[in-house]
Amino acid sequence: MRFVRQHLLVVPTAVLTVVFFVVPLGLIAVYSFGSINPVSLDVFFGWTTNNYRAFDSSLYLHSLLRSIFLSVGATAICAVLGFALAYFISRQPPRAQRLLLVAVIVPFWTSFIVRTYSWVDLLQNLGPIDRLAGATGLTSGNLSILYTPTAIAIGIVYSYLPLMVLPIYVSLERIDVSIYSAAADLGATPWRQFRKVVLPLAMPGVIAGSIIVGIPALGEYVIPEILGGGKTLMLGNILADQFQTTGNYPFGSALAVTLMGILLIMLLILRRRAPLQEPAA
Amino acid sequence: MNIRRHPVSAALAALVIAFLWLPLIAVMVNSFNRDSIMASWGGATSKWYGQALRDHDVREGLKATLIIAIASALVSLAVGVSGALWWRRAPKRARAVYDGLVYARIIVPEVVFATAVFFLFVRFHFRLGLTAIIIGHSVWNSAYATLIVQARLVGLDPSIEEAAADLGATPWRVFRRVTLSSLMPAIVAAGLLAFTFSFDDVVTSYFLQGTAQSPLPIVLFGLIRFRLTPEVNAIGVLVMVFTVALMSLAVTIFATAGRIGRSERSAGFLDMYRR
C-alpha cells in the first residue's frame, strides 16, 4: 500500500510517455523492417531491410546529404554570428546587457510561421533584397534566392539564431573579467587571449547551442516547405510525405529511424567535444 | 583591450540584431500596406486587420487553437508537476530513467514524433482531431513543465516542510501551504510556456488534426502556401503581440520569483527554449 501511494504520482507521466511516446517510436522502428503491398496497402513483416535500400536511389541520398549539409552549415553560421553577438553583449554594462538580450529573444517569441513567412516577402524577386542587389549593381537581372537551398539556410539561421546566442552568452557571462587582464599582463596579444582564454571558456555554450540548433534543423519540416517552395526537400519533408500522402508507412518509418540515427551520431560527436551541460537540476 | 567600445565588434553585433529584427519590421510595415501585392508602399490602411478579424477560417482556427493550448497546458501541468513531485523522492535509478525520458521528449525531432504518433492513431483506429492534438502537445509540453518545476524543487529546502509538520500541520496542509505555494511561480511560468508552445505549434497539429478544424498556425500555413497576402501580415502582427505579451509574463514570473540563485536562474531561463 505504501508502495502504491509512493508511486501514484508517477502514473500520469508514465502512461502519457509510454503510450504516446515510447510505443509509437517503437512501432515505427519495427515497421521500418516491414514491407507493404502496393495495392492493398497491407503491411507484412518479413524483416526486410529493403526500406533502407532506398538510399541507393540518388533522390533520397541527395535529400539525406542535403539535410545534413544544411543543418550542419546553418548551425555553423549560427555559431559564428551567435558568438559575435553574445561576446559583445557579455562585455556591456548590466542594463545594456538586459536590453540587448530582450532584443535577441523577442523575435524568437513571435509566431514561427510568421517569422519564416517574412522571408518570402524579403527574398522574392522584386522584393527589397532583390532590388537592393540590382540597384547596387551586384546582380544584373533577378537574384532568385527564394525556393532554393540558400533560402532554406537563411530561414534556419534566422529562426534558430537566438537559441545559439543565449547559451554562449551564459558561458561568456560567467567568465571573471580579471582573467583577461591577467592574460594581457602576461603578454598575450588580443588574438592569443581570444584563442587561448575566451574560446575554451565559451566552448560549453557553443556545444549546447549547437545541440539545440542542429537537432531541430536536421528534422526541419516547416522551413523547407515554405522557403523551399516544396521543390527543395529535406529528409523531414520526404518522411512526412510518406505518412501524409503516399501511405508507404514502412519506408516512412525507415526514414524516421535513419533521421534518429544521424541525430544520435551528431549528438555523440558534440558530446565528445565537451560534456553536455544539462540545464536545471 | 576595451571591447566595449571596439568598433568592429559593435558593428557586427548591430548587424546581427538588425538581421533578427528587419523581417519582423517588414511584416509590421506590410500589415498596413494598402498595396495588396506588397510590391511597393501604397499608403497606410488598417483594412487588412478588419479583413483578418472577419475571416471565418481565422476565427474558427483561433478558437480551436485556444481550446488546444488551454487544455494542453492544464494536462501538461498535471502530468509535469505530479511527475516532478514523484521524482523528488524517487530512487536514484528511477530518477535517471525519468530524466532520460524527459530529455528524449525534448530532443526527438518533432517531425519524427508527430509521424510516429499519427501512425499509432491510424494503426489502432483512434480518432484524430482536437483530443489527439492535445495529447500530442502534452507529450512535449509536460517535459518542459517538469524541467521548470524540477529546477524550483531543487532550491526548495525540505527542512521548511519538516518544520511545518513538526509544528502540527497535516501532510495535506504542508503540501498546500508550503510545497505548492513555493512551486507556484514555476507552475504559472510552466503553464504559460506550455500554452505558448502549443499556440505556435505547426508540425504535431498538422499530423494529428484529421478532419477537425485546423488550428490557427495551420490556417496560416495553408494561406501562405497559396499566395502572399497582406492579411497574413496582419494576423502575424496580432499573434506576435499576443505571444510576446504571454512570454514576457512567463519569464517575469519565473525570474522575479526570488530564492533562485543567479546561475540557476540563467539555466532556468535557457530551459524556456525549444526547437
pLDDT in the model for residue A121: 80
Q: What is the mean pLDDT of residues B17-36?
A: 88
Residue positions counted in chain A: 281
- Residues of chain A in contact with residue B275, where contact means CB-CB under 8 angstroms, are 112, 159-160, 163, 212, 216
Closest CB from B80, B94, B115 relative to A243 = B115
Whether the Cβ atoms of residue B14 and residue A85 lie closer than 8 Å to each other: no
Scan residues 204-263 of A and list those with Cβ closer than 8 Å to B.
208, 212, 215-216, 218-222, 225-226, 236, 239-240, 242-244, 249, 252-253, 256, 259-260, 263
Q: Helix axis angle, B216-226 relative to B181-200, nearest 10°?
A: 30
Q: Calculate mean pLDDT across residues B59-68.
A: 94
Question: Which residue of B116, B235, B266 is in closest CB contact with A28?
Answer: B116
Q: How far is A82 from chain B (nearest CA, A)?
A: 8
- Give the pLDDT of residue B252: 79
Q: Quote the CA–CA distance of A60 and A223 in Å, as a whole number.
A: 19
* Nearest residue to A260 (alpha-carbon basis) of B99, B112, B275: B112
Tens-place pLDDT, residues B207-244: 999 988 999 999 998 888 766 677 888 888 888 888 88
The pLDDT of residue B259 is above 50: no
Average pLDDT over residues B17-25: 93
List the grid coordinates of A166: 543565449
Tens of pLDDT, residues B140-177: 999 999 999 998 888 888 888 889 999 988 889 998 88
* pLDDT exceeds 50 at position B268: no
Q: What is the mean pLDDT of residues B178-206?
A: 91
Provide the mean pLDDT of chain B: 85
CB contact under 8 Å between B103 and A278, yes or no, is yes
In this structure, of A212-216, B70-74, B257-261, the range with the lowest mean pLDDT score is B257-261
pTM: 0.86
CB B207 within 8 A of CB B117: yes
Closest by CA position to B9, among listed A78, A88, A79: A88
C-beta of residue B126 within 8 angstroms of C-beta of residue A256: no
Percent of chain B residues topping a pLDDT of 70? 88
Q: Which three cell numbers stand for residue A52?
A: 533502407
Q: CA separation (Å) from B53 to A129, B24, B48, B125? A: 31, 20, 8, 36
Distance, in Å, from the CA atom of A62 to the CA atom of A111, rounded to the nearest integer, reads 31
> By three-state DSSP, how is residue A36 classified?
strand
DSSP code, position A40:
T
Within 8 A by CB and 6+ apart from A36, the residues are: A42, A43, A44, A248, A249, A250, A251
The C-alpha atoms of residue B127 and residue A106 are separated, in whole angstroms, by 37
Instruction: Give the pLDDT of residue A11.
Output: 93
SS3 at position A139 = coil
pLDDT on residue B248:
81
Which residue of A110, A193, A226 to mutate against B (max B Cβ within 10 Å)? A110
Nearest to A149 by CA among A61, A57, A67: A67
Q: How far apart are alpha carbons A15 and B121 in whole angstroms?
A: 16
CB A140 within 8 A of CB A183: no
For residues A255 and B109, what is the distance between their CA atoms, to the nearest angstrom? Answer: 12
**Average pLDDT of each block of 10 consecutive residues along chain A (281 residues)?**
80 95 94 71 66 73 88 95 93 89 88 88 79 74 81 94 93 82 83 84 90 90 87 83 84 91 88 54 33
What lies within 8 Å, CB to CB, of A44 at 6+ separation is A34, A35, A36, A37
In a 3-state reduction of DSSP, which class is residue B33? strand
Rounded (10°) angle between helices B181-200 and B230-255: 160
Q: Which pLDDT does position B275 carry in this prediction?
A: 33
Cβ distance of B3 and A88 shorter than 8 Å: yes
Given this model, what pLDDT does residue B2 score? 47
Confidence at residue B33, expressed as pLDDT on a 0 to 100 scale: 83
User: What is the Cα–Cα distance from B218 to B136, expressed in whole angstroms?
Assistant: 15
- Say if the Cβ atoms of B220 and A114 lie within 8 Å: yes
Q: Which residues of A164-184 are buried (b: 16+ CB within 10 A; e: fewer)?
A: bbbbbbbbbbeeeeeebeebe
**Residues across chain B:** 275
Measure the CA–CA gap between A156 and A234, rounded to whole angstroms.
Answer: 12
Query: Chain B residue closest to A189 (CA)?
Result: B1
C-alpha cell at position A80:
559564428
Burial class for B256, CB neighbours closer than 10 Å (0-12, 13-18, 19+):
exposed
ipTM: 0.85
3-state secondary structure of B192: helix
Q: Which of A209, A26, A20 is nearest to B142 (CA)?
A: A20
B55 and B231 Cβ atoms separated by less than 8 Å: yes
For residue B127, pLDDT over 60 is answered with yes
Those residues with Cβ within 8 angstroms of residue A247's Cβ, 6 or more apart along the chain or in another chain = A41
Q: What is the per-residue pLDDT for A1?
A: 65
A280/B38 touch (CB, cutoff 8 Å), yes or no? no
Output the pLDDT for position B73.
96
* A269 CB-contact burial (10 Å; exposed 0-12 / middle 13-18 / buried 19+): exposed
Pairwise CA distance, residues A115 & A112, whole Å: 5
Whether residue B38 has pLDDT greater than 80: no
Task: List the helix and strand counts (H, then E) for chain A.
Answer: 15, 2
Angstrom distance (rounded) from CA B49 to CA B238: 9
Would the CB atoms of B105 and A17 count as touching at under 8 Å?
Answer: yes
> In chain B, which residue ranges form alpha helices assigned H by DSSP?
7-30, 47-54, 56-89, 92-107, 110-123, 130-154, 158-166, 171-174, 181-200, 203-208, 216-226, 230-255, 262-271
Other C-beta atoms closer than 10 Å to the C-beta of A103 total 16
Q: Is B66 on the interface with A (CB under 8 A)?
A: no
Grid cell for residue B235? 494576423
Q: Which of B86, B103, B90, B98 is nearest to A10 (CA)?
A: B86
How confident is residue B187, by pLDDT bands cut at 50, 70 and 90?
very high
Residue type, A138: L
Chain B residue numbers with beta carbons less than 8 Å from the beta carbon of A236 are: 109, 111
Cell of A113: 510561421
Give dist(CA A163, CA A82) in Å, integer. Answer: 9
